[in-house]
Every structure is written in C-alpha cells, then in structure tokens.
C-alpha cells in the first residue's frame, strides 16, 4: 500500500465553462487512484469519514480522494436548474482541470445518485462506482410517502424539512465526543454556507422527483453497501438499484446503520481499488 507523497487536505477551486466555481479538497496518496467523492445531504467537502484517521487510511489504501462540494454547498456556486446528470458534466470539467483520464467515483447517501449520474455520463472514463447507504429513486420505487410523509412534497415543505434536519444534527453534534465536535460542526457549517435553500434543500427536491439517470448506461462495476438497520435511507434502495444495474455487487450489512461509512471506509476504498485493477 502506498504511504508516500501524501496530500494533506489540499483545497482547490475550478472555474467551469459557465462561469460557476466548483470547490473541492484532496487528501490521500498523491500518486494513487483518483476517486471523486460526493458527500451526503447537509455534509460538504469537509466531511471526514474516519475522523482523524481519514487522511492516513485513505493514503494507505492508495487513493487520491477528491471530495467535491456539490453546487449550492460550501464553495461551489448554486445552480438553479441542477439535475443529477448536470453533476456528471461538472465531474467531466473537474477531470479536465486535474488532467485525469480515468477515475473512480464514490457517493454517500444523497451523493449516491450524483456519482451514478457521473458514471452514466462519463462511460469508460469511470472505472468503478462505490455507494455507501445511497438514496434510491423514491418516486419510481413508490415510497415517497414513506420517506417524505406524502407523495408530492413542495419546495417550501422541503426547505422547512431541511432546516429541522440541520437543527437536529446541530443538537446531536453538541453531544458528540469532544474530539469530534469541531469536525462535525465545520462540516455542517460549510454545507450551509449558502443557506438551507441552496444545495441541501435542492438535494431533497431531486430525491423526491423522477431521476434523470439512465442506469442502463453504467457499464463499470458498482459496489453497493447498505446497513440493514438504516432508518434514514432504507436498504431496499440499494437492493432496487442493484436490480437495475448491469454490473452490481450488493452488500447488505447486518446490524449497520446510516453511518456505516465511518466503519467501512477502509474496506470500501480497498474494494474500489481492487475493482479498478480488474
């Protein structure tokens, strides 16, 4: 495993063709497999999956992790008509700026459909796609009522839902281990830099609508990890996605919940690197 030429939380921005800015940070092995990571809702590029071990573990796995703020989060310009597939276009521009010919993609929770869109848009430029506790196409699955407490939810209702979720997280973070509070609050504060009604509420809107992703266009291996005790995003989502994909590897983990990324980061990075070598 690679342990040299480490990138320590390197921050960068790229200006896109339409003048928007895409913010990201890099960490891990500078010469390792480039993996574009899409955070969850009310997270940001500042999310640290393994707390203070995130950078060292990512480095040891031989991964150059590129954690991107989606439009409307942190330092990435809000895009009013953002879709899942538009994120694929943003990743294409990011690859060009970083002079990357091929990448893997990794998404957590609401980041899942975004990296699936990137895999669909970029074709053989994506060697592997990994998903932690990914959202599913709730509307197509017929579970909007279960997720949002109604079949059709308005943007104003989603905004109020987002505000309440953020407040719940802030209260929970205040009671976290002292050494983790700064990481958690920095991540949440960064996610909300442009307001609740920017990226976070917009993610909720996309989650509640029909996806614009052609899952049949994804040819790379897709590794899906989901806990059977996840009460935020039901594991049926990953099971549904696996049935729609050409090359899935589904892992329903007994006893795990929505935060499994914090315990399975090394395992999944290792699996992604391995899949890219096949």
Q: Which pLDDT does position 10 carry in this prediction? A: 84
Q: pLDDT of 125-178, one tens digit each?
A: 999 999 999 999 999 999 999 999 999 999 999 999 999 999 999 999 999 999
pTM of the model: 0.97
User: Per residue, what are the HEC states of the chain?
Assistant: CCCCCEEEEEEEEEECCCCCEEEEEEEEECCCEEEEEECCCCCCCCCCCCHHHHHHHHHHCCEEEEEECCCCCCCCCCCCCCCHHHHHHHHHHHHHHHCCCCEEEEEECCHHHHHHHHHHHHHHHEEEEEEECCCCCHHHHCCHHHHHCCCCCCHHHHHHHHHHHHHHHHHHHHCCCHHHHHHHHHHHHHHCCCCCCCHHHHHHHHHHCCCCCCHHHCCCCEEEEEECCCCCCCCHHHHHHHHHCCCEEEEEECCCCCCCHHHHHHHHHHHHHHHHHC
Instruction: Using the predicted structure, report yes or no on whether residue 3 has a pLDDT greater than 80.
Output: no
Q: Which pLDDT does position 7 carry in this prediction? A: 82
What mean pLDDT is reported for the chain?
96
Instruction: Using the predicted structure, report yes or no on whether residue 275 has a pLDDT greater than 50.
Output: yes
């Amino acid at each position: 495993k690679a342990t040299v030429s480490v990138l320590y939380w390197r921050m960068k921005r790229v200006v896109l063709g339409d003048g928007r800015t895409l913010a990201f940070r890099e960490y891990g092995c500078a010469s390792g497999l480039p993996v574009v990571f899409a955070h969850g809702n009310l997270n940001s590029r500042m999310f640290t999956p393994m707390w203070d071990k995130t950078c060292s573990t990512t480095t040891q796995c031989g991964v150059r992790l590129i954690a991107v703020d989606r439009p409307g989060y942190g330092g990435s310009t809000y895009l009013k008509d953002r879709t899942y597939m538009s994120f694929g276009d943003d990743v294409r521009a990011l690859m060009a700026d970083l002079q990357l010919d091929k990448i893997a993609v990794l998404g957590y929770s609401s980041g899942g459909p975004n990296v699936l869109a990137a895999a669909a848009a970029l074709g053989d430029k994506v060697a592997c796609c990994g998903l932690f506790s990914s959202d599913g196409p709730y509307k197509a699955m017929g579970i909007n009522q279960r997720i949002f407490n109604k079949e059709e939810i308005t943007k104003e209702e989603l905004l109020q839902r987002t505000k309440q979720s953020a407040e719940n997280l802030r209260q929970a973070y205040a009671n976290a281990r002292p050494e983790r509070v700064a990481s958690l609050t920095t991540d949440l504060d960064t996610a909300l830099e442009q307001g609740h009604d920017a990226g976070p509420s917009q993610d909720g809107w996309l989650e509640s609508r029909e996806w614009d992703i052609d899952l049949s266009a994804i040819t790379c291996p897709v590794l899906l990890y989901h806990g059977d005790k996840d009460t935020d995003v039901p594991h049926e989502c990953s099971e549904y996605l696996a049935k729609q994909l050409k090359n899935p590897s589904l892992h329903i983990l007994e006893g795990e919940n929505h935060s499994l990324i914090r315990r399975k980061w090394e395992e999944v990075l290792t699996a992604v690197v391995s899949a890219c070598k096949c």
